[in-house]
Amino acid sequence: MTSAAFCIGGDLKVRRLGFGAMHLPTDPGPDRENSLAVARRAVELGVTLIDTAYLYGGGANEELLVEALHPYPDGLLITTKVGLARSGPSGDWKLDGRPAVLREQVEQALRRLRMERIELLQLHRIDPDTPLADQVGTLRDLQAEGKIGRIGLSEVTVDQLDQARAIVDIASVQNRYNLLDREHEAVLAACEAAGIAFLPWRPVAWGDAGAQAEIAAVAAELDATPTQVALAWLLGHSPVILPIPGTARIAHLEENLAAERIEMTPVHRERLDRLAEVA
C-alpha cells in the first residue's frame, strides 16, 4: 500500500488523493445543488485537498465551495490559482502575471473564499510577457505579508521551476500528467528530488485502444475499474504525487477515492509502466 498522506511544504499534511472542483457546475438550479452535495461528500469521505482557480467561472467555483463548506472543517486545504484575466471587448481569458493583477486577484480570492490567508496559492501559468521574477516575486511579497502560506506553480518546465526556487520556496507544481501522458516526467523527478508536491491535472486520460485494453485487463485482475487503476498507478509512481481527480457525480467521487485501497503487484505496475511507450 502507498502512503495515504503527504506534507506540502514539509508541514501541511493532506490526504494524497484530493478533489479537483473544476467540473462542478455553478449556475443556479439542480446542477448547482448537486455540486454542493458532491463537494460536501468529498469532505465527508476524508478529502483534505480541494483544488480550484479564479479561471473556473471567474471566481464562481470558489464561491460554490464557500457555500458548500464554509465554515471550513479543520484540516481542509482549499488551494486556488491566479494569473489569468479577462481582456478586450470579447472578454477572452489570457495569461496576465503582472504584479498589480496578481496582487488584486489574491485579494479578491481572499474575499471570495472568506480566508485571512490562502495556505497554498498557485500561479496558474507563467505569463511569457512578464518577467518570471516579477510574478514569483509578487507572490513572495504576498507571502511575507501573511496573505499566502505556501506558493505553487502550474505547467512549468524544470528550468522555470529552478528559476522560481531561486526566488522563493516552491511547495507544489501542478502539471498535466497521467498514466499515458508522461511529458513532464523530468519535472516530476525534480519535484521528487526536492520534496515538492506534484499535483497532476487530468490524472485520468485514455490513449489508443491497445492501451485501454491493457488497462482494462489489469483492472479486471484487480477487481477494480480502469479509472481506479490509473489513480492507483499515480499514487505508487512517486511519493510526491497528489492526484486531484474531478467529477460532478458522487458515484464517481466514491469510485475515485476507493483507488487508494488497490494493492498493485510489481508485475501489474511493470505492465502499466510500459504503456507510455505506445500511447
pLDDT by residue (tens digit) across 214-258? Answer: 999 999 999 999 999 999 999 999 999 999 999 999 999 999 999
* For residues 256-273, average pLDDT: 96
Residue 154 scores a pLDDT above 70? yes
Question: What is the rounded average pLDDT of the residues 249-271?
Answer: 97
pLDDT at 278: 60
pLDDT of residue 110: 98
Which positions ≥6 away from 231 have C-beta within 8 Å? 17, 203, 204, 243, 245, 256, 259
Q: Tens digit of pLDDT for each residue in 11-48?
A: 999 999 999 999 999 999 999 999 999 999 999 999 99
> For residue 153, which of 166, 165, 142 has the smallest C-alpha distance?
165
CB hemisphere CA count around 159 (13 angstroms) = 1
Q: Report pLDDT for 197.
A: 98
pLDDT of residue 205: 80
173 beta partners: 153, 198
pLDDT tops 60 at residue 151: yes
pLDDT confidence band for 90 (50 / 70 / 90): confident
Return the closest-CA partner of residue 44 out of 76, 8, 12: 76
Cβ atoms of 5 and 16 within 8 Å: the answer is yes
Instruction: Note the pLDDT of residue 279.
Output: 53
Confidence of residue 91 (pLDDT cuts 50, 70, 90): confident
54 catalytic? Reply is no
Q: How far is CA 83 from the centre of its chain?
A: 16
**Class of the CATH domain delimited by 5-206+240-248:** alpha beta
Cα→Cα distances 241→16, 72, 232, Å: 7, 24, 11
Q: Is the pLDDT of residue 71 over 70?
A: yes
Choice among 54, 56, 72, 177 that is catalytic: 56
pTM comes to 0.96
Query: What is the per-residue pLDDT for 159?
Result: 98
- pLDDT, tens digit, 9 for 90 and up, residues 182-215: 999 999 999 999 999 999 999 998 766 678 899 9
DSSP string across 168-195 = S---EEE-B-BTTB-TTHHHHHHHHHHT
Question: How much is the pLDDT for 62?
Answer: 98
Quick check: 97 and 127 in contact, CB under 8 A?
yes
